[in-house]
Amino acid sequence: MTTARRPGMTRSAATAVTTALSALALLWITDLLARDDPSLAGGPLGTAAWWGTAVTLVLQSVALLRSHFRATVTLGCVAGLSLVLAAVFPSGLFTVTALPVLVGAFLAGLTGAWRDVRRWALASGVLVATAHFVNGSADGRTGGSALVMQAVLQAALVVGLPLLPASVIAAQRATRAAQQEMLAAATRERDAKVSEAIALERAAMARELHDIAAHHLSGISLMASVVARQTASAPGEARSGALEIRKQSNAILDDLRRLVGLLRDVGHEDEGVKTLDTLPHLIETARITGARVDFDLRSDERREPGAGVSPLGQLAAYRMVQESLTNASRHAPGVPCVVTVDDRDPHRLRITVRNAPPGQRARPASRGTGYGIIGMRERAALIGGSFDAGPTNDNGWETRMSIPRESGHDIPERPA
């Protein structure tokens, strides 16, 4: 016996026992009422009709034990037992057999497929109507046409009425199951996309690491072999080779630090390439939100703005301005800000973001965490630059970043 079927069998057993006890209690109450109302009499306690009804109720309840397997077939069996009782022991106690049929109809509508439920409900209704007609005919107190109407009404109430709430509950269960399946499918799809993205990111990182390290490590290996042979014969050349190995090792470390810095920037909402050329768009976006920001570009007419500044340096500059404007809007909302890019120094690029002191009515939107300043300082250190931030003489706030230009590169001049 599988574990999955045990809960269903347990529920069916509980339903069968409860139905049997309730039906037998109703039979006993009916016998008590019949002592004061002879019209309810169907057979005193202990007669064949009474015992026949009690046995039928027990058999109907036992049939409900299989409701977890085929509830529709169970409904037909329970209704058929009512017809057998009406044919063998017709009496006024027959009405009590409607209780197990009610339970069977409800279980069939709750757990059965609607196509099977319709077929078995119709068959069970016919059995219940026939049983009521047979029992009433044996009684002889009701006319033929009236008895037919009562039989049809009995079948509609006993079989059809429980199907309505059961069908509604079954439909709600099916809807919840479909929603959970859709949610599970969406979750699986999301996990698959995440796994694919991680795999692609790992492949990109592997290629980047290969490009960074392969050339330098190959050269280091060759130079180390040469140095090993020249240690005794040519100490001076061996020393020069060792210094070159050190230079190449430092180059690898610098490139790896830059790669780590780029990886740390993954996850921002704007994933495009950020340079000094995109600063005006950033400032315009801040103005759209209501900020008062001025942009001051001080460039050398002999070269293009930002010439000689590495892509990582330009990204650091962009993030510094972005974070500074965010801090200004958080701690001094509504005050004017000035973004200054000084590109006149041939060796360094200097960027300053300054905001006026907050007014007396200005209230900071939030206190912040302080990680923005730390992040800007770390970005500056990553590219060999410097960063500083602090209050101004007029109680405003200023952030300053200095970014070195790449050494060993010719800075192109602006075309005439």
Query: Domains of the chain: which residue ranges?
Result: 3-185, 190-264, 276-404
Helix, strand, coil distribution of the chain in percent, nearest 5: 70, 10, 20
Contact 120, 166 (CB under 8 A): no
Q: Who wins on pLDDT, 31 or 357?
A: 357
Note the Cα 104 to chain centre separation in Å: 39
Q: pTM of the prediction? A: 0.42
Beta bridge partners of 342: 298, 350
> Are the CB atoms for 64 and 16 separated by under 8 Å?
yes
Sheet holding 348-355, edge to edge: 292-299, 336-343, 348-355, 397-404, 386-391
Segment 94-105, tens digit of pLDDT? 888 888 888 888
Dihedral-angle region of residue 290 (phi above 0 means left; psi in -120 to 50 means alpha; beta otherwise): left
Which CATH number fits the domain 276-404, given the four candidates 3.30.1360.200, 3.30.497.10, 3.30.565.10, 3.40.50.2300? Answer: 3.30.565.10
| Cα separation, 214 vs 208, whole angstroms | 10
In this predicted structure, the answer to whether residue 353 has a pLDDT above a threshold of 50 is yes
User: Tokens in use for 252?
Assistant: 């690898």
Q: List C-alpha distances in Å: 401 to 50, 72, 297, 347.
A: 100, 79, 15, 14
Q: What is the pLDDT of residue 212?
A: 54
% of the chain residues with pLDDT over 90: 7
**Interval 112-139: pLDDT, tens:** 777 777 777 888 888 888 888 888 787 6
Q: What pLDDT is stored for residue 271 in this prediction?
A: 47
Residues 138, 87: Cα–Cα separation, whole Å: 9
Least confident span in 54-58, 381-385, 409-413: 409-413
pLDDT above 80 (res 247): no
Pairing of strands 397-404, 386-391: antiparallel
Helices 144-155 and 114-139 pack at an angle, to 10 degrees, of 150
DSSP string, 312-360: HHHHHHHHHHHHHHHHHHHHSTT-EEEEEEEE--SSEEEEEEEEPPP-S
